[in-house]
Amino acid sequence: MLAVVAPGQGAQTPGFLKPWIAESSFAERLAWLSAVSSLDLEHYGTDADADTIRDTAVAQPLLVSAGLLAALELFPHPADAFTQIGVAAGHSVGELTAAAGVGVLTAEQAMVLVRERGRAMAEASAATPASMTAVVGGDPAEVLAKIEEHGLTAANNNGRGQVVAAGTTDRLAALAADPPARARLIELSVAGAFHTEYMAPAVSHLDRLSRAISTHDPRTRLLSNADGQVVHDGAEVLRRIVRQVSSPVRWDLCMATMADLGVTGLLEMPPAGTLTGIAKRNLKGVEVFALNNPDQLPDASEFVRKHADTGNSAPIASNPTWRLIVSPGKGQFTRTDDLPAGTVLPDLSTVGAVKNLRDEIPVTAPHGGIVVEWLAEDGDPVSPGQPLLRLHPMVETTDATEIGR
């Protein structure tokens, strides 16, 4: 199974788009996204220095545009990609790249939202002297305890060997003076404490904007940074992306879900290297591919063909008539009630739960609907993204944003 992932802020380096600009299709699309975002993305991706592209308001739109346009170079016919990609995910701002890539948002919606996200996070960062520090090594439990002891937040949990602490600069200084045993601390060159309570003003701004955005359900499995679960409702994907600005990134749980799914190959969109590096430490036996220039596209296409699993991807492809309720994770599915065909479910109905050793995850029907067919039996073992129930949308809610495609 193939996983396609998009990196977050900090992955950008000066000039990383130079080789891509030579591709006329990439350059033309980048000019369009520059117009949409009101930023000269070609300049920032080719000529701007490290300090300039470190600016949150610049870095985030630059990363999302790079990932989306490189994906179009790799998959010139996007619909073909949905039967090859088993699961998609993005780290932090990379969630917007992934969401647009699997059809939840248009590229234009993603660029406007990421522009506002970057600006709002930059403004929130300016209000309080805060930053982030990577804690490498040490006992995981001791690391988390020491971070909490100093009043900091574990803003990124990137799996084995790396947690990022975030908070005020004085609290980070205290952590540096009293580090966890056998751990190495690396100060990150960021302007604020991302994915913490200090980003609350940005969340408020994005929440207001997001209410006007129409969404579509993902065309393949899409993982959430909040908990690593598969989210198959477009509106919920957007809500989670907004909330994630002030909530920790659980990339460790995203990788756990990839392992549950049996991912065999992980391809990272440019600027690649960060997430493939993490995967090498945490997803043993999974082959990785870091896509960083167009000369790699033939090899990347071969990598996709090698790991594509159309049998696993196809079941949640879009359908114009039905809405599918899918499993958010791996475990045993238990129905809440015996709901025969024809049962009318109101919005936000709970239809069951998926239980595993880590958690018990409720399964809901966000938009309600009429029960057409159960696709999993009570007590069945299920995998992340596996269809559980087929619903027909109710007439009173069937508009362009409510009908599953």
Q: Active-site residue among 91, 195, 367, 392?
A: 195
CA 361, CA 229: separation in Å to the nearest integer?
9
**Tell me, what DSSP letter sits at residue 230?**
B
Cα Rg for the chain, rounded, in angstroms?
Answer: 21
Q: Is 150 a catalytic residue?
A: no
Would you kindly state where each structural domain of the chain is located, as residue ranges?
Answer: 2-124+197-313, 129-187, 319-397
Helix (H) / strand (E) containing 279? helix 274-282
194 to 11, 19, 58, 111: CA distances (angstroms): 15, 30, 15, 19
Q: Is 92 a catalytic residue?
A: yes
Domain 319-397 has CATH 3.40.50.2300: no
CATH T-level assignment (fold) for domain 2-124+197-313: Malonyl-Coenzyme A Acyl Carrier Protein; domain 2 (3.40.366)
CATH superfamily of 129-187: Malonyl-CoA ACP transacylase, ACP-binding (3.30.70.250)
The per-residue pLDDT for range 146-181, each reduced to its tens digit, is 999 999 999 999 998 799 999 999 999 999 999 999
Give the per-residue pLDDT at 394.
67
312 to 86, 187, 261, 263, 317: CA distances (angstroms): 6, 41, 9, 11, 10
For the chain, 405 residues long, give each residue's pLDDT as a single digit of tens: 999 999 999 899 999 999 999 999 999 999 999 999 999 999 999 999 999 999 999 999 999 999 999 999 999 988 888 889 999 999 999 999 999 999 999 999 999 999 999 999 999 999 999 999 999 999 999 999 999 999 999 999 999 879 999 999 999 999 999 999 999 999 987 889 999 999 999 999 999 999 999 999 999 999 999 999 999 999 999 999 999 999 999 999 999 999 999 999 999 999 999 999 999 999 999 999 999 999 999 999 999 999 997 655 444 554 445 788 999 999 999 998 888 888 899 988 999 999 998 889 999 998 888 898 999 999 999 999 999 999 987 654 333 333 233
Q: Active-site residue among 34, 37, 65, 92?
A: 92
